[in-house]
Structure 1
Amino acid sequence: MLTLTRLRADHAPALLAFERENRAYFARSIPDRGDDYFQHFEARHAAILAEQAAGLHHFHVLLDDQGDAILGRINLIDITASGTAELGYRMAERAAGQGLATTAVRDICKRAATDYNLTSLTAVTTTDNPASKAVLTRTGFAPVEDIVLDGRPGTRYSRTLGVGLNR
């Protein structure tokens, strides 16, 4: 059974492996993290855990059946006092096309409302990423604005929480 859990310090080795193994795959549809991310991974991991502890962000990983390999990341970042956050997610290439992103986004929407007391989420994706657009649409997000994301055309989506939590 797959598990969506909050990011912890002991996830660091599996998270670094996930990011390295999928770097080229991710770069085809989302902005690349750059070499600096990998060179300073340990410090970055510690920093985001501190930000999570301060309530600025909520980071999650989707673990495989054995609980030792990461299949995806699902994050709520830039939490505001008014109860909004931005959703971000990425799934491993080997997990793509299996409905895991849709399931994880549904789960995080429920957690955002019930565990984190958030009222709405936004998300962005590039126009040339139909899989991400489909996940957002299936989980109750609606397009609200055309944007440019890392020089590429994209769309900003929004979802009010507490409405259609079963979607």
Structure 2
Amino acid sequence: MVTWERLRAGHAEALLNFERENREYFARAVPDRGDAYFAEFTDRLQALLAEQAAGICHFHVVRDADGRLVGRVNLVDVADGTAELGYRVGERAAGRGVATAAVRLVCEEAATAYGLRALTAVTTLDNAASRAVLRRCGFTEAGSLTVDGRPGLRHRRALLP
């Protein structure tokens, strides 16, 4: 069972630990956040919370059945009824359906609570797991692009209210 919560300041310690524990794992699939991300984590979190309060973004933490923070799922650049979906699941939870469950939950929330009509997402071609999650959650390929110098795909999903 997967649950998720809207990001809040009280998640700071667990979120920082999650990012540190999974840094090498994430860097295998996406560009590393760099040392500055960790050194300036508190300020960065406050900036994210301010963006969330302004309605520009919606950030969430994902928890497993034991309540451990195992992932993140975010909606960024909210405008004109759309947003870009981003997500990451830690190594210990990978391959267990956590990402699929979390993306499904945020798609429902995006339509109902946030009033969005469509979501986009971007993956690199070599990230087959992420592309599979998006397919399972109703996203379709919507064009190619380059992601940090690597070939990638844009995906889109219309949302029903």
**Same fold (TM > 0.5):** yes
Counterpart in 2 of 1:112?
110
Report the alpha carbon displacement of residue 64 of structure 1 after superposing the two structures with TM. Answer: 2.9
Counterpart in 1 of 2:124?
126
Task: Measure the CA separation in 2 of the matches of 1:156 and 1:71.
Answer: 25
Aligned pair count reads 161
Task: Measure the CA separation in 2 of the matches of 1:142 and 1:56.
Answer: 24
Task: Measure the CA separation in 2 of the matches of 1:51 and 1:146.
Answer: 28
With the length of structure 2 as denominator, give the TM-score of the two structures: 0.97
The unaligned stretches of length 5 or more in structure 1 are none
Deviations for 1:57-100, whole angstroms, at most 9, x for unmatched residues? 00000023343x310000000000x1000000000000000011
Report the alpha carbon displacement of residue 2 of structure 1 after superposing the two structures with TM. Answer: 3.2
Counterpart in 2 of 1:3?
3
Counterpart in 1 of 2:71?
72
Report the alpha carbon displacement of residue 3 of structure 1 after superposing the two structures with TM. Answer: 1.7
Aligned residues of 2:2 and 2:98 also touching (Cα < 8 A):
no
Counterpart in 2 of 1:102?
100
1:82-97 equivalence runs, <5 A: 82-97=80-95
The unaligned stretches of length 5 or more in structure 2 are none
User: Given residue 106 of structure 1, which amino acid in structure 2 is its aligned partner?
Assistant: R
Task: Measure the CA separation in 2 of the matches of 1:12 and 1:66.
Answer: 19
Identical-residue share of aligned pairs (%): 61
Counterpart in 1 of 2:62?
62
Task: Measure the CA separation in 2 of the matches of 1:117 and 1:71.
Answer: 26
Task: Measure the CA separation in 1 of the matches of 2:134 and 2:64.
Answer: 22
Counterpart in 1 of 2:160?
162
Report the alpha carbon displacement of residue 35 of structure 1 after superposing the two structures with TM. Answer: 1.1
Secondary structure at the aligned position of 1:30 is classed as coil
Task: Measure the CA separation in 2 of the matches of 1:41 and 1:12.
Answer: 8
Aligned residues of 2:83 and 2:120 also touching (Cα < 8 A):
yes
Aligned residues of 2:61 and 2:72 also touching (Cα < 8 A):
yes
Report the alpha carbon displacement of residue 34 of structure 1 after superposing the two structures with TM. Answer: 1.1
Aligned Cα root-mean-square deviation (Å): 1.1
Counterpart in 2 of 1:19?
19
Counterpart in 1 of 2:29?
29
2:138 to 124, 137, 140: 140
User: Given residue 74 of structure 2, which amino acid in structure 1 is its aligned partner?
Assistant: N
